[in-house]
Each structure stands twice: as structure tokens, then as C-alpha cells.
Amino acid sequence: LASGDGSGFYVLMIQVSHFKTIMINILCTRNIPGPLILHAASENIYVQEQDFISVQPHIRKEDIPLIISLIQQDMPSVIFTSKHAVNILADFIAQQKQDSVSIKWKVYCISEITLQAVKQRFPDAIIEGKGSYAAELAGVILEEKNIKEVWFFCGNLRRDLLPDRLRENDINVNEIAIYETKLTPHAVGRDYKGIIFFSPSAVESFFSMNKLARETVCFAIGKTTASAIKNKAGNEIITSEKQEAQTMIQTVIDYYKQKHLQV
């Protein structure tokens, strides 16, 4: 059975026997596509959505000539670790009326969500390497012995690991922050059996105002997010095998199916 008030709040009710019903509340710390909510609901998983971060384009005037110049270059090495960077940069290029230019960059990016954004927004780019998380992507880049310089499009809260590791290995990293991530924390007024996190920033935002009950399970989109959770709480952490919303929701479904079988 399921209930909802139209605000994104849902309750999971798993019928365990004729006499016992378990009700599970799930919180997702960002909005996800409606079809995924419906898919989860069909499996008796119901989710309350609440954004804990906001992302806004923010390109500095002094960086505009650098970006325009990079568009004209042939095969520079470019790094993306966020779909936000991909989409915001592509939108900016279109606004500058440069979208007719064939952008032939060598791109290194995080797998799944970011990779798909690159393929869609920069179809002429060559995907030179990909990794499931920042440390893995850094390793992939370092395997390319001829790389001396990279361009890293990122946000203001980007993690240090990737650029630091590249610089430690004598690669010149040109960072261009093109968006701002702002924490939008909310005090959660109830206990949830599961919390879904899609980024370290969302983890930081959530825990700035909330503590978890001991039995609450945390679901992380990837290893970097899982590590951020581990630094905040000792709760059980389940990590999605792929960094995409569809796989994350299926991970949640599979987890509670298994818990149901163990009851």
C-alpha cells in the first residue's frame, strides 16, 4: 500500500505477513525524474524528495576569453567531473554563438551521468578516458604519459583530490570554475529508514543540520559520496554500482527486497 500528499512525500508499506506491516520512509536529497519515482512506487518504494544543494551558472568575465580561445584549439585535454559543468559550458558556448564550431576536445570525465552529458552536448569530442570516481579518473589521465596540461571545468566546491594528484605528477591544471554550488540545508523533522545522496555537497548540507538515527541506511551515488558520508556518520552505507539515478533507485529497491526476504 502507498500514500502521498502530492508534495513528494511517500511511505513504503511492505506486507510481510497477514499480521505485520513494515512502513519505511525514504528521503532523497535531490529531485529525480518522475518515471524513476513511479518505478520505485511499483516496487513499494516511496520517496520524499528535497533538494539540499542548488547549482547556478557563474562564469567570471576574465575567464570568457580563455574559454573562447579553448573552443578554437585542436585537441586540448579537457576534464569534466560533473554534468553541471558540461551543460553550463555548452549553454554558454551557444550564447556566445560559438555552437556552430566543431569542438574537437580530448575529454576525460566521470562515467555514466557526466559521460552521457558530454556525448550529448559535445558530440564531436573524443572521449579519451573515463573513471567511476575522481581518484580513478586521475589514474587514467596519468597513464597518458604525453599529457602536460589539462583544462578542468568545475564548480566552486570541487574536490581537491583530482587536480592535486595531477599537479603532484607535473601536469599543469587550468581550473575554470563555471558554476556555484550552494548548500541549502533543511532540518528534517522525522526519522527516515533510508537517505539517498547524490553528491558530497549534499552530504555536507544534510549533516550541517541533521543527525541520523542509528538504523538509518545511507545510499551513495559513488565512492566519493560514500566517503563523505563515512566522515559524518557510522551508519550503513550502500553504494550504487553506477553513477546514475536509475541505478541508484534500483539499488534502493534491491536492498529493501533483500531486507524483506530476511524478515
Q: What is the DSSP string of 165-223?
A: HHHHTT-EEEEEEEEEEEE------S--SEEEE-SHHHHHHHHTT----TTPEEEESSH
Using 50, 70 and 90 to split pLDDT, how confident is the model at 261? Answer: low
Would you state the pLDDT for residue 175? 97
Q: What is the mean pLDDT of residues 57-61?
A: 97
Q: Which of 8, 57, 27, 7 is nearest to 206 (CA)?
A: 27
Reported as a single tens digit per residue, the pLDDT across 89-147 is 999 999 987 666 789 999 999 988 899 999 999 999 999 999 988 899 999 999 998 99
Q: Which of 104, 48, 59 is nearest to 84 (CA)?
A: 59
Contact 127, 109 (CB under 8 A): yes
Strand partners, 151: 78, 174
Would you state the pLDDT for residue 19? 31
Q: What is the DSSP letter of 62?
A: G
Q: In what order do the strands lie in the sheet with 21-24?
A: 2-4, 10-15, 21-24
Would you state the pLDDT for residue 236? 98
For domain 2-52+184-262, give the fold: Rossmann fold (3.40.50)
The domain 55-182 is classified under which CATH number: 3.60.15.10, 3.40.50.1240, 3.40.50.10490, 3.40.50.10090? 3.40.50.10090
Would you state the pLDDT for residue 9? 47
Question: Per-domain residue ranges for the chain?
Answer: 2-52+184-262, 55-182
The CA-to-CA distance between both ends of the chain, in Å, stands at 18
* Least confident segment among 38-42, 113-117, 193-197, 235-239: 38-42
Residue 2 clears pLDDT 50, i.e. is over it: no
Reported as a single tens digit per residue, the pLDDT across 167-223 is 999 999 999 999 999 999 999 988 898 999 999 999 999 999 999 999 999 999 988
Reported as a single tens digit per residue, the pLDDT across 4-34 is 444 454 444 444 433 344 567 899 999 999 9
Residue that wins the pLDDT comparison between 242 and 164? 164
Q: What is the pTM of this model?
A: 0.83
Residue 148 clears pLDDT 70, i.e. is over it: yes
The yes-or-no answer to whether 2-52+184-262 and 55-182 have a common fold is yes
Spatial CB neighbours of 57, under 8 Å, sequence gap ≥ 6: 88, 91, 92, 178, 179
